[in-house]
Structure formats: C-alpha cells, structure tokens
Amino acid sequence: MPWRYALLFLGVFSSSTAVIMIRMSHTHPAVMAALRLLIAAALLAPLFWRERRRHAASYTRAHRGRTLLPAALLAAHLISWGYGSRLTPVASASLIANLVPIALPFFLYFLANERINRTEVIGTVLALGGVVALTAPGLLAGGGAGFWGNVICFGAMIAAAGYVALGRRNRDFPSLWLYVVPVYWQAGLISLIAAIPWLGTFEATSAREWSLMLGLACIPTILGHTMINLGVRHLRGQIVSLCNVTQFVFAGVMGFLLFREQPAPLFYAASAIVVAGIALVVFSAPPGPPAVVE
C-alpha cells in the first residue's frame, strides 16, 4: 500500500512542475501549449497504435468524434493557464488551477446527469469564498497583473473542469490511450492554429526552450497524468482528488526556491478556506475517478 501513495505523490509533484517550467520559458503560451501537447502525443503514439490493433473491432468512428470537444477544452485550458500563471505567484496560480473538484460536480450534473448534493454546494461556496479572499486585494487596488492572473487561472480551471467531465462521460472507450492520445493530438493542432500569429517568436535554435517544451510534455503531462491515473486504479477517488490539490504546496516551495516568491499572509488563510471547501466536496461525493490536466 505505501508504494501506491508514493506513486500518487510522485504524480502530484510531477504535475506541480508545470507552472515552474511555464514561468522559466520565454515561449508564447499558445505556442507552448501546442508544442507540449504535440510532443506528448508523439511520444505516446506507439501506445495508441498498439491499443488500436488490440481493440480494432470495438474502437469506432463515433469514439473518434467524441474526442474533439474535450480537445478544444484542453487547448483552452493550457493556453489560458500559460497566460495566467505568468501574471500571479506560482502558489496562487497552482491553487486556483486545481480547484477542479469544486466545479466538476456542476459539469457532471449538466453533462452526465449526476446529481449534486447540498454539501457539495456548501463546499463550493466555501472554496470560492477563499478564491475571492485571495483576489480581493488586487481588485480593491484597481486590478493589476496579479488580479488578472488569478482571474485567467480561474477561467483555465473552468475549462479543465469541462474537460474532466467529458472524460468521465467518455469512460466507455475500450482503452485510456485510445481516448487520451487523440485528444492530445487534436488539442495540439487547435493550439497550433491559435498560435499562428506568434510562431515566429519561438526561439527554435534555443536548446533551453526545447528542453522546457520536452520537460512539459514528459514530466507533468505524461509522468504526472500516468502516476495519478495509476493511483485512481488502486486508491479511493476522493483521496486522489484531495491529494492532487496539494500541488500548490509543491509549486509554492519551488516558486520560493527558484523565484524568491513569498506568498502574502492572506494567501495562507485563503488556502485553508479553499482546501476546506474542496475537502467537503470531495468527501461528500460518491466514489468516482477524477481526471487531472496539469
């Protein structure tokens, strides 16, 4: 049992590195999202073709058609996440982007007809209160980069919640790889189209930028997602969801060590409120596998 928790936290830590690499890179967010997704899809392509041969009879055109909308939401999430995380401290960006558990029940209600209970509503209101407390100083000061960074990260979280909800609805795919890899390919192509005006700004001769793109594809996208999905198979879904929220702790520590970012005192109180709200939502929900984007 301990090794399962170790793998889960390896996945959570790997996912938390995304915001660090985004901040270290000079690449435009849309270009970054496109490269990250296309590299990940290329690396996972052998698994897709293996599973396609294995499930040739049960993998249909209808399955492929159902991957377009989640791909569009994933592209929207990663592009907006790239913008927002550069405007606000990494701990705040990571905390807000991982609020998916509080928004997910509402998406599942509309997309999969899963009922919402009263505790989920209370927990959502509590967590949103924490986010308001986190962003209020910037709003009262007339906006600013930090405030808008939080707002954009919140929008990125909404897109991620929609992506996760569609993944839940599409769990009838014969293999995880037959769903994930086409989603990555299409999301990468959508991001690439959105990135056309900025493609010329990419430092194509920079080994540092290519290393960061490869790192984003391999560490948070492939390793992070794989370890967390492995955790879902062996641990209760609520535990995985709640552990995943701790990404902001890892991100905050790395942000302090690398960028000397020290969150304001209000951040700790707001974080406690947010985590309490998420805990209410997670532990009041029936068991079910969450999905992770970052």
Q: Please tell me the distance from the alpha carbon of residue 70 to that of residue 165, in angstroms, as a whole number.
A: 9
pLDDT score, position 185: 96
Give the relative orientation of helices 237-245 and 100-112 as an angle to the nearest 10 degrees. 130
Flag whether 227 is in a domain: yes
Q: CB–CB of 37/78 below 8 Å?
A: yes
Residue 294 lies in a domain: no
pTM listed for this prediction = 0.84
How high is the pLDDT of residue 272? Answer: 85
- Is 291 inside a domain boundary? no
User: How many domains would you assign to the chain?
Assistant: 1
**Residue 251 belongs to what domain range?**
2-284
The tokens of 142 are what? 């007339």
User: Based on C-alpha coordinates, what's the Rg of the chain?
Assistant: 18
Residue 231, pLDDT score: 67
**Is 222 part of a structural domain of the chain?**
yes
CB contact at 8 A, 19 and 83:
no
pLDDT of residue 238: 55
Give the pLDDT means over successive 10-residue stretches in the chain (294 positions). Answer: 76 90 95 96 96 92 91 95 90 81 76 74 80 64 69 89 80 87 95 97 96 96 78 61 77 88 80 82 62 44
Give residue for tokens 């493609």: 199
Q: Is residue 74 part of a domain?
A: yes
pLDDT given at position 285: 63
Q: Is residue 289 part of a domain?
A: no
As a whole number of angstroms, the distance between CA 43 and CA 47 comes to: 9
Question: Residue 53's pLDDT is what?
Answer: 94
Residue 89 belongs to a domain = yes
- Structural domain includes residue 46: yes
Exposed (0-12), middle (13-18) or buried (19+): which is 288, by Cβ within 10 Å?
middle
Alpha helical stretches, state H, 67-144: 68-84, 90-97, 100-112, 118-140
Q: Is the Cβ–Cβ distance between 109 and 181 less than 8 Å?
A: no
Q: Quick check: 84 and 95 in contact, CB under 8 A?
A: no
